[in-house]
Amino acid sequence: MAILFPLVLTLTFGAVQVGLWFEARGMCQAAAEAGVRAGKVLHAPAGAGAAAARSYLTDVSAGLVVSPNVTETLTAATIDVTCSGQAQNVIPLPGLNIAVVQSSQAGIERFTR
């Protein structure tokens, strides 16, 4: 029992931690996609994509993404929104920071003939 219980406990918390990482990764990807959808619209103001991604994380993530950082890179033809942060820890161990980085890119909408 003294050997088996810590092993079972470690496996259980490890599985929950992997689930939290996977969910935080999905939240960052969805936020980046929401930012790209908002920023690729014709005549969208600069920063619209980053603002939409931050708003999405605030409304939906419920603290799963700790210390979120959203950046927007805008060129003449494309927009790229990157969301990064850390997954929530099951047991807050010092030095255990599980990084999450996701990005999305699309062409900016424009009229053509």
CATH of the domain at 47: 3.30.1300
Q: Is residue 113 part of a domain?
A: no
DSSP string, the chain: -TTHHHHHHHHHHHHHHHHHHHHHHHHHHHHHHHHHHHHSSTTPPTTHHHHHHHHHHHHH-TTSEEEEEEEEEE-SSEEEEEEEEEEPPSS--TT---EEEEEEEEEPP----
Q: What is the pTM of this model?
A: 0.87
Domain of residue 22 covers 4-107
Is residue 58 in a domain? Answer: yes
- What integer is the mean pLDDT of 71-95? 90
Residue 100 lies inside a defined structural domain of this protein = yes
Is position 112 within any domain?
no
For residue 93, pLDDT beyond 80: no
Query: How far is 49 from 93, CA to CA, in rounded Å?
Result: 34
Work out how many domains the chain is built from and give that number.
Answer: 1
Does any domain span residue 102?
Answer: yes
